[in-house]
A and B are shown apart, each in its own frame.
Chain A
Amino acid sequence: MAEDETVKKEDDHDLIGCEYEIEVIDKDGNVTERQKGKNSLLIQFIGSIISALDPNGYNTICPSTDVKNVAGGAASNMLYQYNSNTYCGIPSAGTFGVITNGIVVGSGNTPVTADDYKLATIITHGVGAGQLQAQAGAIQDVVLASPRASFRIDRTFINGSGAPVTVREIGIYSLWYDGGVGSQICTCRDVLLAPVAVANGSTLFVKYTIYISI
Chain B
Amino acid sequence: MTKLTGIIRITKSTGEIYEYPMHSFVQNFAYMLNGLCNKSLPNAGVGTPMKDTANVSRLAGAYNAGVTWYNWFYTAAAAIGIDTYGMVVGTGVTPVALTDYKLDVPIAQGVGAGQMRYSGASYQVGKISSGANRSFKLIRWFTNDSPGAITVNEVGFIARPYNHLLGQFNILICRDVLAVPVVVGVGELITVEMSFQITA
Residue of A7, A49, A53, A212 with most partner-chain B CB within 10 A: A53
For A7, give its contact among B19, B27, B76, B97 (CB under 8 Å): B19
Q: Are B40 and A89 in contact (CB under 8 A)?
A: yes
- Interchain nearest-CB distance for B121 vs A (Å): 8
Q: Are B198 and A93 in contact (CB under 8 A)?
A: no
Q: Tell me, yes or no, whether A28 is within 8 Å of chain B by CB.
A: no
- Give the docked Cα–Cα distance between A108 and B124 (Å): 37
Q: Are A142 and B25 in contact (CB under 8 A)?
A: no
The chain A residue sitting closest to B44, CB to CB, is: A88
Q: Tell me, yes or no, whether A42 is within 8 Å of chain B by CB.
A: yes
Task: Of the listed stretches A56-64, A126-134, A157-165, A197-205, name the one at the interface; the rest are far from the partner chain.
Answer: A56-64
Which residues in window 41-62 of A have CB below 8 A to B?
41-43, 46-62
Which residues in window 47-63 of B have CB below 8 A to A?
47-48, 61-63
Q: Are A88 and B27 in contact (CB under 8 A)?
A: no
Which residues in window 86-103 of A have CB below 8 A to B?
87-93
- Give the docked Cα–Cα distance between A13 and B132 (Å): 18
Kindly list chain B residues whose C-beta atoms are within 8 Å of the C-beta of A40: 1-2
Q: Are B132 and A114 in contact (CB under 8 A)?
A: yes
- Give the docked Cα–Cα distance between A166 and B110 (Å): 64
- Bin the interface of chain A by size: 35 or more
Kindly list chain B residues whose C-beta atoms are within 8 Å of the C-beta of A90: 36-37
- Give the docked Cα–Cα distance between A81 and B161 (Å): 12
Q: Tell me, yes or no, whether B183 is within 8 Å of chain A by CB.
A: no
- Give the docked Cα–Cα distance between A207 and B75 (Å): 31
Q: Are A89 and B39 in contact (CB under 8 A)?
A: yes
Task: Of the listed stretches B65-73, B144-152, B185-193, name the one at the interface; the rest are far from the partner chain.
Answer: B65-73
Q: Tell me, yes or no, whether B41 is within 8 Å of chain A by CB.
A: yes
- Give the docked Cα–Cα distance between A113 and B37 (Å): 22
- Interchain nearest-CB distance for A17 vs B (Å): 9
For A89, give its contact among B25, B38, B96 (CB under 8 Å): B38
Q: Tell me, yes or no, whether A135 is within 8 Å of chain B by CB.
A: no
- Give the docked Cα–Cα distance between A55 and B74 (Å): 6
Known interface pairs A84-B64, A139-B37, A142-B31. Does A8 touch B1 (Cβ–Cβ under 8 Å)?
no
Kindly list chain B residues whose C-beta atoms are within 8 Å of the C-beta of A113: 200
Kindly list chain A residues whose C-beta atoms are within 8 Å of the C-beta of B23: 13, 214
Known interface pairs A15-B25, A61-B125. Does A151 touch B130 (Cβ–Cβ under 8 Å)?
no
For B200, give its contact among A54, A85, A114, A150 (CB under 8 Å): A114
Kindly list chain B residues whose C-beta atoms are within 8 Å of the C-beta of A87: 39
Kindly list chain B residues whose C-beta atoms are within 8 Å of the C-beta of A15: 4-6, 22, 25, 196
The chain B residue sitting closest to A89, CB to CB, is: B36
Known interface pairs A15-B25, A66-B127, A144-B27. Does A93 touch B5 (Cβ–Cβ under 8 Å)?
no
Q: Are B72 and A46 in contact (CB under 8 A)?
A: no
Q: Are A62 and B128 in contact (CB under 8 A)?
A: yes
Q: Are B200 and A149 in contact (CB under 8 A)?
A: no
Kindly list chain B residues whose C-beta atoms are within 8 Å of the C-beta of A80: 69
The chain B residue sitting closest to A57, CB to CB, is: B69
Known interface pairs A85-B41, A149-B27. Does A60 touch B126 (Cβ–Cβ under 8 Å)?
yes
A40-B2, A52-B71, A56-B77 given; name 6 further pairs at CB < 8 Å: A53-B123, A55-B123, A113-B200, A144-B99, A174-B37, A214-B26
Pairs across A and B, CB under 8 Å, 6 listed: A16-B4, A52-B74, A89-B36, A89-B40, A139-B34, A146-B97
5 shortest interchain CB distances as A-B pairs: A114-B200, A149-B30, A91-B39, A89-B36, A55-B77
Residues of B within 8 A of A (CB): 1-7, 15-27, 29-31, 33-42, 47-48, 61-64, 68-77, 96-99, 121, 123, 125-128, 130, 132, 134, 136, 138, 159, 179-180, 196, 198, 200
